[in-house]
Amino acid sequence: MAEQRKRQTAYRLCISQILNNEQSQDNASVFVSLKNKNNEEINASKINLIANVIDKYSSSGERKYATVTLDDATGQIRIKSFGEDVSKLERVEIGDIIVVIGFLRIYNDELYIFPDIVRIADPKWLFVRKLELTKQFGEIEESNEVYSSEDSAVKMQESRNAENQSHLEVTEEKLAVDPASKEELKEISALENLKKKIVEKIKMKGDEIDIEELIIDLAEPIEQINSSINELLESNTLYEPKPGTLKLL
């Protein structure tokens, strides 16, 4: 149990924030240092990223190895898996939108992500993530980099076109006049408040609570509670010491 308490928070970032901010290394761990809109410092080694898959490679020889190249319109970064961990990337295909929670690593001067959790996501979560990052860090600039791979450039443009059609380009000015964007922000704010309530309820119960009891106490829609619990579990704020029970890390 003591080992679980050492697990790190997975910070929601975009690729440019990972690549373009100050990096430091402690043994195998790599940390990226940056500040949010409130000038609070963040040192992230474990990250939560949503991006488009633009390339994939795998080797099934004696030494299993797989890489996936991600692009979120702010930059590109690779996921690398080795040995039995390559199974985490088996279902991922070029063109998928994925959520990856993993650890930053460096090898041969390349910063990459060693994945812990990988799952395919609905494209709408790109929009939600942009709203989250805009709220936390301010406007995130897209990359104007010229890509060496023609396929990457084409897929990048397709991704940007899809985002534009779905109103995924988020700026502070747009948020001020777009009712739909305001509603998305309200929804995100409501979920963040619900997560805070969950943490407070658990603290009041002595750092551990039964999930059914929590649902009754909160009197919120079960779907929203479950969604908030899943996010808190993924960010390592909570864990399940036994089925149906939540505890703070």
Q: In three state form, how does the secondary structure of 164-232 look?
A: HHCCCCCCHHHHHHCHHHHHHHHHHHHHHHHHHHHHHHHHHCCCEEEHHHHHHHHCCCHHHHHHHHHHH
pLDDT given for residue 188 in this prediction: 66
Which comes out higher in pLDDT, residue 73 or 223?
Answer: 73
Pair 234, 121 in one domain: no
Pair 187, 112 in one domain: no
**C-alpha radius of gyration, the chain, whole number:** 19
Question: How does residue 7 score in pLDDT terms, banded at 50, 70 and 90?
Answer: low
Whether residue 162 lies inside any domain: the answer is no
Segment 238-248 mean pLDDT: 82
What are the φ and ψ backbone dihedral angles of 169, each rounded to 5 degrees? -85, 110
pLDDT given for residue 143 in this prediction: 67
Domain that includes residue 36, residue range: 4-127
pLDDT in tens, 36-78: 988 999 999 999 999 999 999 988 777 888 999 999 999 999 9
SS3 label, residue 16? helix
Whether residue 234 lies inside any domain: the answer is yes
- Min mean pLDDT across 8-17, 112-121, 161-170 is at 161-170
Q: How far apart are CA 1 and CA 23, in angstroms?
A: 30
Work out the end-to-end distance of the chain between its first and last CA atoms, rounded to an integer number of angstroms. 10
Q: Report the chain's mean pLDDT, rounded to a whole number.
A: 79
pLDDT given for residue 50 in this prediction: 94
The yes-or-no verdict on residue 3 having pLDDT over 50 is no
Chain-centroid distance of CA 79 in Å reads 13
Question: How does residue 6 score in pLDDT terms, banded at 50, 70 and 90?
Answer: very low
Percent of the chain with pLDDT over 90: 33
Domain boundary among 95, 127, 159: 127
The yes-or-no verdict on residue 223 having pLDDT over 90 is no
Pair 19, 109 in one domain: yes
pLDDT given for residue 177 in this prediction: 45
pLDDT in tens, 125-172: 888 888 888 888 988 877 655 444 444 445 444 544 544 444 334 344
Pair 87, 199 in one domain: no
- Is the distance from CB of 152 to CB of 76 less than 8 angstroms? yes
Segment 189-212 mean pLDDT: 83
Whether residue 132 lies inside any domain: the answer is no
Cα dihedral angle (217, 222, 223, 224), rounded to 10 degrees? Answer: -20
Pair 28, 113 in one domain: yes
Question: How does residue 186 score in pLDDT terms, banded at 50, 70 and 90?
Answer: low
Tell me the CATH number at 232. Answer: 1.10.10.10
Q: How far apart are CA 11 and CA 219, in angstroms?
A: 29
Q: How far apart are CA 244 and CA 214, in angstroms?
A: 10
Q: How far apart are CA 13 and CA 130, in angstroms?
A: 10
Residue given tokens 């960010």 in the structure block: 235
